[in-house]
Structure 1
Amino acid sequence: MSRRKKNIPIITGAEVVDIARGGKAIAKKDDLVILVSHAVPGDIIDIQVTKKKKNFYEGRPIHFHKYSSFRTDPVCAHFPVCGGCKWQDMTYEAQLRYKEKQVTDQMKRLAGFSEDIQDKIQPILAAEDPWYYRNKMEFTFSARRWLTPEEIVSKKQITEPALGFHVAGLFDKILDITECHLQGGPSNAIRNFIRDFTLEHGYPFFNIRKQEGLVRNLIIRTARSGEVMVILSFYHDDREKILSLLEAVKDRFPEINSLQYVINPKGNDTLEGLEVQVFHGKDHIIEKLDGLSFKISPKSFFQTHTRQAENLYRTILAFAELTDTDTVYDLYSGTGTIGLFMASRARKVIGIESVEEAVADARGNAALNHIENAVFLTGDTKEMFNDTLFRQYGSPDVVILDPPRAGIHPEIVEMLLKQLPGKIIYVSCNPATQARDMQGLLPSYTPKKIRPVDMFPHTDHVENVVMMKKK
């Protein structure tokens, strides 16, 4: 006999009061706390509970008694199924307010700072335009597209393929995208042309579960100069079909400066370990930030919001307060963008990065900009940031930290407390791990300036820059 399902209640008249880490809304009714998707602080709603946990419930709104004044009409026809812009039903001003609050809360709770930390947090740096800001978009082909709720209810047999985005939380479900408001230029036209061409000419779309099909992924990169890069990924080398598609794209979009392709027989979609081939044009495009030129190749990491990247790096430079006698260590240096921004104000810059391709890009970008006082080294940061390195390049006066979301390794904290550079600039896309790491530095450092930067409008993500000075 099957077990009877537990009774899952409906909570009526709950008020949405805040935003939780991760972007879900926090609703309260009496002593109950419920995390809710697709709700905005100020809404009063009925909630269908979907999960019961020890200290809170999770649920979804099923009726709105009152709509928040923070609400706005979503721009995108694919909202809310597409999880890329899950906050676009909230005004941009409200988004900024809750991102700034997220940073303040993390600093107070996780780093253990007192109330006066608020005085050190500068207003969040807003995006000039919260739409069409991305310089890179990745789309996935799927043999069957994700159905809308209305299509599911209709019970019609729909077997159309898709070219679009992953449905949130589902690796094998793709929502077909006809228009995306995140990338400007010819992005939408290129994607729609490729979808129409491949459908018309019978190209099999990839099935990730069965590991079969031909067309697999599409990457479009753009630069403010107007340069465009397109990379198409195929599961196997059907030379005739591949060349036919590439030729059609080249002829239809002469503005494409770099048209490339790759054969990817792997179980995942990454380009790691694969050789990308140039079909037409260059093997790169050029982006400019504050007078510096950066070479962007298919595998290059580059901040996806170019205008805000420029503002982010200007903030880091201002916080660093460099002099021409300073030795700067740029840890987790990536393709060298931050270090190269620092180079004109410092005596020397030493970047450390574990990804060999990124280091090659950093060195190439240094040469491209005729910068001779920056060196970029390949290796594990926690193993390389040591006394041997300091004897070769000098002790650090300023250290830039820009780690992955997981934060810095405890051994880095120990070395910083041993070396005691005058200033540490910590850049993070995860204020929670940033606050944790800052707490470890408190015995010898005091936070002086903090500034959140909105790199990704309409999402819950926020970048944060902290300047800590030696006591």
Structure 2
Amino acid sequence: MKRVQAEKRQIQNISVTDIAEEGKGVGKAEELVLFIEKAVPGDLIDAEIIRKKKNFAEARIVQLIRPSEHRTEPFCPHFGVCGGCKWQHMSYDAQLIYKQKSVTNALERLGKVDTSITEPILPSFETRYYRNKLEFTFSNKRWLTNEDMQAGESQEMNALGFHVPLRFDKILDIETCYLQSNPSNEIRNRIREFALANNISFYDLRNHEGALRNLIIRSSSTGELMVIVVFAYASDEEVQKLMNFVQERFPQITSLLYILNQKKNDTIFDQEIKTFAGRDHIFEEMEGLTFKIGAKSFYQTNSMQAHELYMITRQFAGFSGDELVYDLYTGAGTIANFIAKGVKKVIGIEYVPTAIEDAKINSDINNINNTTFYAGDMKDILTASFVELHGKPDVIITDPPRAGMHADVVERLLEIESPKIVYVSCNAATQARDIALLNQKYSVTKIRPVDMFPHTQHVENVVLLELNS
């Protein structure tokens, strides 16, 4: 019998049976559902309640009585403090099981979909160093770990790394990150050392002052490298000194850029990008196609898995060569250009104008002449008159952001009645919500989850919907 000790807010002998969307283990004590930080399905634990609501509570492990067979030793020293890679303590095979389960649960519960047709999740080829882009933050308020505080010595308070969860102004100083291959770690660590040695100030996120603000590193499968240093209140001398150092220390950088951002937020899409050395872009390749990647360009952050994701999308569409395809939320036109050679025409629509410019450039450099791109709000562009002008699509591919499609867009798809819709999603819950609305005219005939982000709870999912006869 599980026993609640009110005075200590502890619950004993909890069996962890599942894992929640945010990556926490799930257990139950009497009528109380527990969401337990760093718990793995199969663990038997004693837990302490951190926050209690009416029917559920957040908790932490006080004692691990019996570890799950799925539990493994995290390989990153920053695990548990850094907000990323929350599933490092669970074997990769188990991660895949629970990612697939999260997809089928969402589709069944929210979309009323028969998931017996679901194909096995496609694992990531690489489980470490799989990202082609990372963004780091400079801060003069470093997060001190328990080990730091126990050391009791004067601590260096400048940091270059990642935000600590729920603390916007605290940055965890990162020595080694296993998400992006070298020289990413070397570049970050040497820039930090140089800034400290030369008294270049780190950004104060509360007071909005300081010279160094952000560092963005992008790499490509072709071996090219982009480094963007974002300054805030830096002198011309500080900018030149640091950028000269980076250029001389890392001559392999293809595109060395910098930005002066004195806004209150970190977004760079409205900022001027200045080229210090090399090109203002790098190139990525996929299946014989070349994609130009600029500082503001969107590209899937796991290059190898992006190729797999797009191949599944193409396979689900089942092109014969004569189709008119609408590619909704086309971004930089990656999917549109990827499928263009196998269809009659592709029309891409995207909200961000700069992304559409990238899409057009990517068509041009690959000599693709059967694509057309439009920028604007999806619900405003995808009208009856638009379809009348361009023709009824044989296939619609939609790859919306995490929030899914606007209800007006779903309604428009029901009006268009394209024979096939291929729905690519990074959020199975909003995908299922949209499918529930499409169910009045469409049936789900294929489902394939794809793991793009090992050691996290995130999963992509591709669904084929076919118009009911």
Deviation per residue, 1:266-306 (Å, 9 max, x gap): 00111021101000000000000111110000011110000
Q: CA deviation at 1:391?
A: 2.2
2:282 to 278, 281, 285: 285
- Distance in 2 of aligned mates of 1:31 and 1:383: 47
2:395 to 389, 395, 398: 398
Deviation per residue, 1:397-455 (Å, 9 max, x gap): 11111111111111111111111000000111110000010000011100000000001
Match of residue 58 from structure 1: 58
TM-score when scaled to structure 2?
A: 0.97
- Distance in 2 of aligned mates of 1:132 and 1:161: 26
- Distance in 2 of aligned mates of 1:385 and 1:198: 50
Letter in 1 for 2:453: F
Task: Flag structure 1 segments of 5+ consecutive residues without an equivalent.
Answer: 1-5
Instruction: Say whether 1:297 aligns with 2:286.
Output: no
Match of residue 405 from structure 2: 408
2:212–2:234 contact (8 Å) kept in structure 1: no
Instruction: Say whether 1:318 aligns with 2:315.
Output: yes
Instruction: Say whether 1:26 aligns with 2:23.
Output: no
Cα 1:8–1:367 shift into 2, 3 Å:
farther
Match of residue 469 from structure 1: 466
Q: CA deviation at 1:261?
A: 0.2
Match of residue 453 from structure 2: 456
The 3-state SS of whatever aligns with 2:84 is: helix
After superposition, residues 380-395 of structure 1 pair within 5 angstroms as 380-395=377-392
Match of residue 307 from structure 1: 304
Deviation per residue, 1:70-99 (Å, 9 max, x gap): 011111111111111110010000000000
2:130–2:179 contact (8 Å) kept in structure 1: yes
Which 10-residue stretch deviates more, 77-86 or 309-318?
77-86
Q: CA deviation at 1:241?
A: 1.0
Instruction: Say whether 1:194 aligns with 2:159.
Output: no
2:433 to 433, 436, 449: 436
1:239 to 232, 236, 241: 236
Match of residue 87 from structure 1: 87
- Distance in 1 of aligned mates of 2:13 and 2:405: 43
Instruction: Say whether 1:272 aligns with 2:269.
Output: yes
- Distance in 2 of aligned mates of 1:305 and 1:8: 44
1:8–1:50 contact (8 Å) kept in structure 2: no
Instruction: Say whether 1:207 aligns with 2:204.
Output: yes
Q: CA deviation at 1:325?
A: 1.9
Match of residue 3 from structure 1: none
Runs of 4+ in structure 1 deviating by more than 4 angstroms, as ranges, are: 153-157
Deviation per residue, 1:235-259 (Å, 9 max, x gap): 0241111111111111111100100
Cα 1:377–1:68 shift into 2, 3 Å:
same
Instruction: Say whether 1:354 aligns with 2:360.
Output: no
After superposition, residues 59-208 of structure 1 pair within 5 angstroms as 59-113=59-113, 117-153=114-150, 155-208=152-205
1:144–1:159 contact (8 Å) kept in structure 2: no
1:13–1:29 contact (8 Å) kept in structure 2: no
- Distance in 1 of aligned mates of 2:263 and 2:45: 45
TM-score when scaled to structure 1?
A: 0.96
- Distance in 1 of aligned mates of 2:369 and 2:7: 68
Letter in 2 for 1:385: L
Which 10-residue stretch deviates more, 272-281 or 407-416?
407-416
2:107–2:115 contact (8 Å) kept in structure 1: no
Instruction: Say whether 1:219 aligns with 2:199.
Output: no
Match of residue 3 from structure 2: none
- Distance in 1 of aligned mates of 2:156 and 2:251: 33
Q: CA deviation at 1:20?
A: 1.1
- Distance in 1 of aligned mates of 2:39 and 2:155: 31
1:219–1:230 contact (8 Å) kept in structure 2: yes
- Distance in 2 of aligned mates of 1:186 and 1:21: 33
The 3-state SS of whatever aligns with 1:173 is: strand
Match of residue 17 from structure 1: 17
2:141–2:169 contact (8 Å) kept in structure 1: no
The 3-state SS of whatever aligns with 2:295 is: coil
Which 10-residue stretch deviates more, 439-448 or 232-241?
232-241
Q: CA deviation at 1:118?
A: 2.9
* RMSD over aligned Cα atoms: 1.2
Letter in 1 for 2:13: G
- Distance in 2 of aligned mates of 1:230 and 1:321: 39
The 3-state SS of whatever aligns with 1:231 is: strand
Number of equivalent positions: 463
Q: CA deviation at 1:7?
A: 5.5
The 3-state SS of whatever aligns with 1:294 is: strand
- What percent identity do the matched residue pairs reach? 49
